[in-house]
Structure 1
Amino acid sequence: METNLIENANSWIESILILLLAGVLVWILASKLKKPYTIFLVILGLLIGLLNFPFFNKIAYMFSDHQFFSVIVLSFFLPSLLGEAAIKLEFKDLNKFKGEIARLALFGTFLTFIIIALVLTYLCHLPFVVSLTIASLMCATDPISVMGILKVMKAKKSIAISLEGESLFNDGIAVVLFKISTVYIISFMNKGLFGALGASFILFLKIVFIGLIVGLVLGFIASYLISLVDDYPLETMVSFLLFYGSYLIAEIFHGSGVIAVVIGGIVFGNYGKKIGMNENTKNYMYSFWDIISFISNTILFLLIGIEVYRLNLFSNWKLTLFSILITLMARTIAVYISLFKAKSFTSTEKFLINWGGLKGALSISLALTLPHNFPYYKSIVLIVFVNVVFSLLVQGLSISSLIAKIKKQTI
């Protein structure tokens, strides 16, 4: 038994090292071509998956065939990715564009969720719970993918802040909607339609509120702790404990771990930096989280591509393709209504914000947490996978030309 444990551990380590090596090579190529490396990782993963290399199939099986890995993704990778992005967000920038971010992250996310759920239920005739589940997965946007493109292309700050702020808070809301759709909504059905909606809304507020409080409290505690010392390895460890601790504590109290991480990261990155960080500490901490983010992104985005070998891409292909159109339509309606009165953006910039709502690792990770006996499980995973790949390759690769067009208009 001990030998099997050692062999399994060695297999995991070997797989992770190979994925990281591939990530380094892709990062070098992407930096030379001035393209976001996450998209190149997905392309490489797709090539590996389509060519059906046995060794890489084994890696994909090890990572995604085990139910517990999705939990690891949500509790290990997600806090680091969200925390790394949140800690770098300047509060003054968030405050300046708070209206746009709030409308996109709250109203826009809800509207996208509702439109997708209704269309899938009444046009595609899917069960209501299945429609809600797919809608919750499709209304999540990925800050990592789009920010990589915006940084490379040096996009206008108002667009970058609005998209990143929306994505961070949107992720928290999407995870809460996913929990309600898959776990709680069935138990609310005996209350009737309006009773179920009312109970779901109250539960939503409760989950968000708990995450918000946990993030605020731990963010301020972590900020105070680093003000007592001037030791950048120790202060970086405090940030590590903040991100993972806030996520786990919020989840223990049935709140949103994602929102707790985002709020705690923003507090720590602004108030903590003001009272307890010198420039050397800030640079070291940012570098540390850049490395953790690189490791997490490499594993997740390569696996998104490699996973193609496990999917029957031609099963339910009409519904899968239609889901892309539904998602694009819902996103477009939500963004344009949310930003209808926003005078800070031109029509082209609004379209960029709409087109920049990329899907990413969070949607796939959440889909893989569903039990295999969940209704339409294989169809849900396929729909999510195809939508994520479409958004990364089609939308992601075309965003740079949109940004270039906007720059020409402003000259």
Structure 2
Amino acid sequence: METYQIISTIIFLTAIFAYVNERWIKLPGTIGIMTLALFSSLLLVLTGQLVPAFAKEAHILVARINFEQVLLKIMLSFLLFAGALHIDASKLKKELWPVIVLSTIGTFISSFLVSVMAYYLFQLFGLPLPYIYCLLFGGLISPTDPIAVMGILKRVGIQKSLELKIAGESLFNDGVGVVIFLTILEIATNGMDKFSASGAALLFVREAGGGIVFGGFIGYLAFFLIKAIDNYSIEVLITLTIVMCGYGLADELHLSGPLAIIIAGIIIGTKGKREGFSDLTRDYLLKFWDMIDEIFNAILFLLMGLEMLVIKIESTVMLIGFIMIFVVLLARYLCVLFPVLVLRIWIKFEKNAIAMLTWGGVRGGLSVAMALSIPESMHRSEFVLITYLIVVFSVIVQGLTIGKLAKQSK
């Protein structure tokens, strides 16, 4: 099947599921699309014996979609930029310490806790895995997904300060999480005999710090270019160029593309809206990126639902996955609890901050994409299944109930 046909089929399914959800089911958009795609995938698996030809074609279609490449190399930059545009730097500054601590120290704590518990859980079920692979899994499952989180926060209605904490943390721990994952993957690939703490730290600082600096450069470059003209179509084109070329160039320079795009988006969103955009440009630009955000989110959640068709199911690993759902939630709670308790000495937190930050830490497509990028020799199939179960629970259960938690906490 040609690439164009695959894209057309994905768009067709997204439109159909979005319409069915909006017309009859009325779940939140992305969650509804993912639920319908997941249900359709399960139905195809169950009825595959009755209509093998149709089930086979569906499997071939999904197998041809490189989820890792589609998300990490194409969609992620657009979605991060669209989310970052709505972050006001002056407001973020007020929540800077909670965002920095939770997105860095919190992610490290979670990665360690999950990896230790996963290591002993695999041992308990007679599947001993090297600890470095469990650490790899801890790194990919610990960051909350800004795409899923920000989509859910739009409809929850919580205090703006808490919303900014959750959104800011999810944006930045996404970039930090990718860097942690890639650092551990490099160690696992090269072997522990070539590992050095200083080398790993240098790699992390280069990717994360370099990504932030590079993002600042391209963000301000775009701002000055936009400020010099008043033509909304060209200004939208400049932002598209920053997202596509900036992300690709950061990747070539071995810098964190996600962090670069987040910083660029915040700069353009804050300074551009205040100093560089006319009212007409602001209206067109924000509507354009909101539309990109909605469409790509819908496609992403459709693909997550369809991935069920190609994931290898193994009963023991599935049982471990169900247990890991609660392990990951516990790790999330602990990595929120300790930083918040310490930060409360200097910073005021909302009374429901710990509960909302814990339950609002939704995992999404980013974790699935990172799991799919693990080499098969590092027990990829086991980690993909476990990650998928955690993500499905996170998006559907946490996503559908966080609004009720927010109302109860008021």
Contact 2:63 2:310 in 1 (8 A): no
Inter-partner Cα distance in structure 1 for 2:57 and 2:113: 38
Q: Does 1:354 align with 2:358?
A: yes
> Which is worse superposed, 389-398 or 305-314?
305-314
Deviations 1:315-360 (A, max 9, x none): 4123212221221111000001111133533443321111100001
- 1:71-110 equivalent positions in 2, closer than 5 A: 71-110=69-108
Q: 1:131 to 1:403 in 2, by over 3 A?
A: same
What's 1:332 paired with? Answer: 333
After TM superposition, give the deviation of residue 29 of structure 1 in Å. Answer: 4.5
**One-letter code aligned to 1:370:** I
Inter-partner Cα distance in structure 1 for 2:20 and 2:198: 48
Inter-partner Cα distance in structure 2 for 1:313 and 1:397: 28
What's 1:344 paired with? Answer: 348
Q: Does 1:206 align with 2:197?
A: no
**One-letter code aligned to 1:231:** N
> Which is worse superposed, 239-248 or 327-336?
239-248
Q: Does 1:17 align with 2:21?
A: no
Structure 1, unmatched stretches of 5+, are: 1-6
Q: 1:188 to 1:205 in 2, by over 3 A?
A: farther
Out of 375, 390, 394, the position equivalent to 2:393 is 390
Q: TM-score scaled by structure 2?
A: 0.90
Deviations 1:269-323 (A, max 9, x none): 1123333201221121111111211221111111211222333163412321222
Secondary structure of the residue aligned to 1:304 is helix
- 1:390-409 equivalent positions in 2, closer than 5 A: 390-407=393-410
- 1:164-179 equivalent positions in 2, closer than 5 A: 164-179=167-182
**Identity over aligned residues, as a percent?**
31
What's 2:61 paired with? Answer: 62
Structure 2, unmatched stretches of 5+, are: 48-52, 124-128
Q: 1:124 to 1:401 in 2, by over 3 A?
A: same
Inter-partner Cα distance in structure 2 for 1:173 and 1:270: 22
What's 2:50 paired with? Answer: none
Q: 1:129 to 1:286 in 2, by over 3 A?
A: same
Q: How many correspondences in the alignment?
A: 394
What's 1:4 paired with? Answer: none
What's 2:277 paired with? Answer: 277
Q: 1:64 to 1:274 in 2, by over 3 A?
A: farther
Q: Indicate the RMSD between aligned Cα atoms, in angstroms.
A: 2.2
Inter-partner Cα distance in structure 2 for 1:359 and 1:144: 9
**One-letter code aligned to 2:86:** K
Contact 2:18 2:32 in 1 (8 A): no
What's 2:384 paired with? Answer: 381
What's 1:289 paired with? Answer: 289
After TM superposition, give the deviation of residue 16 of structure 1 in Å. Answer: 2.5
Inter-partner Cα distance in structure 2 for 1:61 and 1:364: 19
- 1:102-251 equivalent positions in 2, closer than 5 A: 102-125=100-123, 126-187=129-190, 189-191=192-194, 196-251=196-251
Contact 2:14 2:33 in 1 (8 A): no
**One-letter code aligned to 2:116:** L
**One-letter code aligned to 1:161:** L
Inter-partner Cα distance in structure 2 for 1:60 and 1:256: 33
What's 1:254 paired with? Answer: 254
